[in-house]
Structure 1
Amino acid sequence: MPVAELEKNFDQKDITSRSEEKFSPVSDHPRTDSDSGSELDLNGDDALRLVGKERTVEFSEEFNRKLRRKLDIMIIPLAAAVYFTQYLDKTSLNYASIMGLPITGQHYNLVALAFYIGFLAFEFPTVYLSQKSGRVGKYLGMNIVIWGALLMLHAVGTSFGAFFTLRVLLGMCESCTAPSLILIVSMFYKKDEQASRISWFYVMNGLTRIFGGFVAYGVSFSDNPHIAPYKIIYILLGGLAIFVGLAVVTWMPDSPMTARFLTEEERIACLERVRNDQGGVANKSIKKEQIIEAFTDIRTWLIVLSLMLTNIPNGLSSFSNLVIEGFGYTSRQTLILSTPVGAVESICTLFCGWYSDRKNERMVPVVFAMVPAIIGASILVGLNHAGKKGALLFAIYLVGTMGSSLSTIYAYNASNTSGYTKKSTVNAMSLVTFAVGNIVGSEIFLPQDAPDYIPGKTTILVLLSTQLGVSFLLRWVNLRLNKKKISQLEELKRSKGWSDADVQKERERHAFMDLTDKENIYFVYTA
């Protein structure tokens, strides 16, 4: 239905006409942007087919508030269920390690890193397959169903080879999770809403530590001679993943243009909400020039470095129970005592997400997450032989805050990268770094260093301290780029004789041209 016709049917108290001028989709009426002197990219965003280059309707604040609530009710619970399931599945090995798992010593380390080998190998292919399909939600859901089946197969295999292979395949399937959810959030939510929404589902990483610890504790009392406790864990978690995957296939939207739970006017309103952010929505075409820009953007490599510095320490997630057990606790005590780590991470994640959107900051919340973790790592190293189990346990809880930094970095990518192919590429590079960091991280806690693991704890302390400097550097780069864009825009206004209204009109026309953040002078970086 054309927008002009929709305007007549909309409730006038919710929508007011901004312009009588009709728009024409770019695909039907290509034209040159004579004002800016450059030819607009005719292979623009898929959103152009629905809303065109120029804003033709204005939606009231009440209408947008109701729409946002509708998005929150549908998208966020599904995303939270995905992350809840994924983190349980990924860390199932941590629980199994003290519940009769037949894989021990160096073989355990290799099985722990096998997940990230699969994750690393399939990250770029899975991101581009998702983009080409144009069905981000469905693609994600099918991967979840497959990894649920793989997880249940962990209860069958008992050899090192079987576990290693299954963990590689599990990593391949789970590699699409974060990129898919980050893209979905960036499609449906404004920049100043993205960090909090990502934190709302990323908080599941912390909550699963609580849930998983208590479930594993309960299962540990099983005395069934026919099935080991670790096998029960794998069967339960695999079945849960299949259920969540089917729910995602059924209800998770692929984009605002095709979301079945939205009416046509709500789809248009959804696109108009994000127009000023200049981030675009979706494009199935993989653009080589955007891939090149992603790899040559200094900010991409600073993000890569940032993720490396935070994900090598994240290797502790696979060894935290062994570390706590090394303090002198029993296996069952360890399962219970490890759960507060999840509570600490959850609280920190929600606070960082709230602060990030409230203050329009991305890197400062990362620093907030790093400082307690650095203090915790210092205690682990300094009090290692002091015999103070309570202080060492408290230190483990403090180190748990570092996990919340990842959700803010993901929000950084969603808010600070434009051009669909570039955004997909940066997301893929981020998750490849996540995998590499965790592969390295799984090797800093070596069997010969048990039970103290001093080299691993010292590595965490050094890397997290370095991350503080990288965060401030990345923030400075973004602010500097914004100043440069403001200067360029002011010069363009003077040379063209534009008013502020003219600038706003041009900003709206560029929103869905699938331009990168560097190409689009109207794109503003979030520090």
Structure 2
Amino acid sequence: MSSPVMAEVKEPTTAPSHDLPALIARTESKSITDEKHSVDVEVDEVVTDGLEYKDEALKLVGMQRTQEFSEEYYRKLRRKLDYTIPPLCSAVYFTQYLDKTALNYASIMGFPVTGQGYNLVALSFYIGFLIWVFPTMYISQKTRLGKYLGVNVVLWGIIMMLHAIPRSFGPFFILRLLLGMLESCVAPILILIISMFYKKDEQATRISWFYLMNGFSAIVGGFFAYGVSYTTDASIPSYKIIYLLLGGLAIIVGIAVLLWMPDSPTNAHMLSHEERIAAIERIRDDQGGTENRKLKKEQLIEALTDFRTWLIVLSTLLTNIPNGGLANFGNIIVKNFGYTTKQTLILSTPAGLIGLITTPLVGWYSDRTNERMLPIVYILIPTLVGAAMLVALNGSNQKGALLFATYIIGTYGSSLSQIYAYNASNTSGHTKKVTINAMTLATFCVANIVGTETFLPKDAPGYLPGKISILVLLSAECFLCLFMRWYNLHLNKKKRQGVEELKHINGWTDEDIVKERQRHAFMDMTDKQNPYFVYTS
């Protein structure tokens, strides 16, 4: 064991952290000439050094599984997690969606900014979101996720309440900008937390549980705004009451997150030491890891150069340009069918019910079939039918058919939860996860900014160009989803071939492969670096 090759391998303490994959590669290549037992020892010597470069989970469980837990124990642990994490995630998402769309209700309840000024106030949220989404995610990587999230929720609650003060364009623009900045951390952090605590075949369901709050908040928000619209106090317009009450709700939710949301399995306060170990071991085989607070340049570069990243960016763009228009102009479109303000507020609630039903159904189906892209195609079919109806019946007096079209068009909303689940299941390496989640949400912002501008005042009251854009973009998304599915299956085939090649070259048995897979689980390697990572289609 004194060969020059092995001497080089035994220098990880002086090698820079970014050379770890190369060190591992050199150690594995030595296995061609050395005996298998010797290789196992040398790999352990390399990968247990430089712990700051690897996953935080190694502090509790090490490179190999040393403790076994029964499936019943894992089920009880999962139920315990379900009592805390999804409810808090749902409360945050419920609050965020209500606060983000409060402007939609305010627009028909005396909001003092109209016309193009209203459009600019609407898109300022997404400008703030876009400005801050990358900085906030890299800050969150250096801090405790739950605490960082809670602070942001409390702060945006305060910003919401401040919306009751101004009467002109400028202050509203600034407040919406700040609101977007503070809310930009929500989805990426929730995705990271779900991916830390849940297995791949559980993630889409849990993500759908908090994402369905979009539909639930649309129902609650509609009835809430309807009730507020009956206020008779001329000194405080209805829209101000909405902002004050929703801001107070956000502050309460933020405090709950600060108190009870766990940061990671390694320090979850509601788990015993044994349960923390079990929480980590139950996700070991997924090769996704938990967290690492070191920002890794090579993972950042890989995220930016990975073809799959740009497919996700394009998919997010295609599904959220329509969202940008409908989120801010949905009530205006319905009102232009010939309904009063109060009728519009009530008639908007069934659209939320559609999302409330389809989102968990899609999440359940996604986990059950281990599919991410096909469910998106299925839920886009009703949307395309609804968009086609809005285009074909534009300007007609068929109020019932037009209203029905606005309801079924909302099934597309579940697609973003699937994109979230796709990222959670198909990305490894903490810096890469953070970067891709941030890119997804940055694209979400760009798409919503563009979407806001597809519904221009000059096109009122029909807004035909905006309706056509929905039909065209979501049709393209269907074809993109099918390609993304094929591409992941293609990559998995290459992964299997690579593992078989390693097995043949090193003379490994199936048991050796199991050990190697366990060893790689918490090395904070990316999905491309880790030969044992399996993509979800």
Give the TM-score normalised by structure 2: 0.91
Q: Deviations over 1:265-317 (max 9, x none)?
A: 00000000010000010000000000000000010000000000001000111
Question: 1:385: how far off?
Answer: 2.5
Whether the 8 Å contact between 1:147 and 1:170 is mirrored in structure 2 is: yes
Distance in 2, matches of 1:101 and 1:416, equals 43
Q: Where does residue 497 of structure 2 map in the other structure?
A: 487
Letter of the 1:55 partner, please give it.
R
1:55 is paired with a residue whose SS is: coil
Distance in 2, matches of 1:285 and 1:270, equals 22
1:254 is paired with a residue whose SS is: coil
Q: Deviations over 1:396-421 (max 9, x none)?
A: 11110111100010000000000000
Q: 1:273 and 2:282 equivalent?
A: yes
Distance in 1, matches of 2:429 and 2:120, equals 38
Note the aligned Cα RMSD (angstroms).
1.4
2:396 is paired with a residue whose SS is: coil
Letter of the 1:326 partner, please give it.
N
Distance in 1, matches of 2:488 and 2:305, equals 16
Q: How does 1:382-401 map to 2 (within 5 A)?
A: 382-401=392-411
Distance in 2, matches of 1:469 and 1:350, equals 23
Q: 1:147 and 2:156 equivalent?
A: yes
Distance in 2, matches of 1:191 and 1:157, equals 46
Letter of the 1:347 partner, please give it.
I
Letter of the 1:416 partner, please give it.
N
Q: How does 1:219-258 map to 2 (within 5 A)?
A: 219-258=228-267
The structure 1 residue matched to 2:450, chosen from 440, 443, 453, is: 440
Taking only the aligned residue pairs, the percentage that are identical comes to 65
The structure 1 residue matched to 2:134, chosen from 124, 135, 158, is: 124
Distance in 1, matches of 2:360 and 2:24, equals 45
Whether the 8 Å contact between 1:346 and 1:404 is mirrored in structure 2 is: no
Give the structure with the higher percent helix: 2
Letter of the 2:314 partner, please give it.
L
Distance in 2, matches of 1:340 and 1:446, equals 26
> Number of residues paired by the alignment?
499
The structure 1 residue matched to 2:214, chosen from 202, 205, 214, is: 205
Q: Where does residue 102 of structure 2 map in the other structure?
A: 92
Q: Deviations over 1:84-136 (max 9, x none)?
A: 00000000000000001011010010000000000000000000000011x01
Distance in 2, matches of 1:32 and 1:437, equals 41
Q: Where does residue 167 of structure 1 map in the other structure?
A: 176
The structure 2 residue matched to 1:59, chosen from 57, 69, 79, is: 69
Moved over 4 A (4+): 30-33, 35-41
Q: 1:103 and 2:113 equivalent?
A: yes
Q: 1:218 and 2:220 equivalent?
A: no
Q: Deviations over 1:42-65 (max 9, x none)?
A: 411011011000000110011000
Question: 1:498: how far off?
Answer: 1.1
The structure 2 residue matched to 1:310, chosen from 307, 313, 319, is: 319
Distance in 2, matches of 1:36 and 1:384, equals 66
Whether the 8 Å contact between 1:126 and 1:175 is mirrored in structure 2 is: yes
1:91 is paired with a residue whose SS is: helix
Q: Where does residue 17 of structure 1 map in the other structure?
A: none
Distance in 2, matches of 1:260 and 1:65, equals 19
The structure 1 residue matched to 2:310, chosen from 301, 304, 329, is: 301
Q: How does 1:281-296 map to 2 (within 5 A)?
A: 281-296=290-305
Letter of the 1:412 partner, please give it.
Y
Letter of the 1:501 partner, please give it.
E
Letter of the 1:88 partner, please give it.
L
Whether the 8 Å contact between 1:312 and 1:437 is mirrored in structure 2 is: yes
Question: 1:386: how far off?
Answer: 2.7
Give the TM-score normalised by structure 1: 0.93
2:68 is paired with a residue whose SS is: strand
Question: 1:387: how far off?
Answer: 1.3
Distance in 1, matches of 2:183 and 2:396, equals 40
Gaps of 5+ in 2: 1-11, 14-19, 31-42
Letter of the 1:188 partner, please give it.
F
2:461 is paired with a residue whose SS is: coil
Question: 1:506: how far off?
Answer: 0.4
Whether the 8 Å contact between 1:352 and 1:368 is mirrored in structure 2 is: no
Letter of the 1:325 partner, please give it.
K
The structure 2 residue matched to 1:372, chosen from 382, 394, 399, is: 382
2:172 is paired with a residue whose SS is: helix
Q: Deviations over 1:145-177 (max 9, x none)?
A: 000000000001111001000000000000000
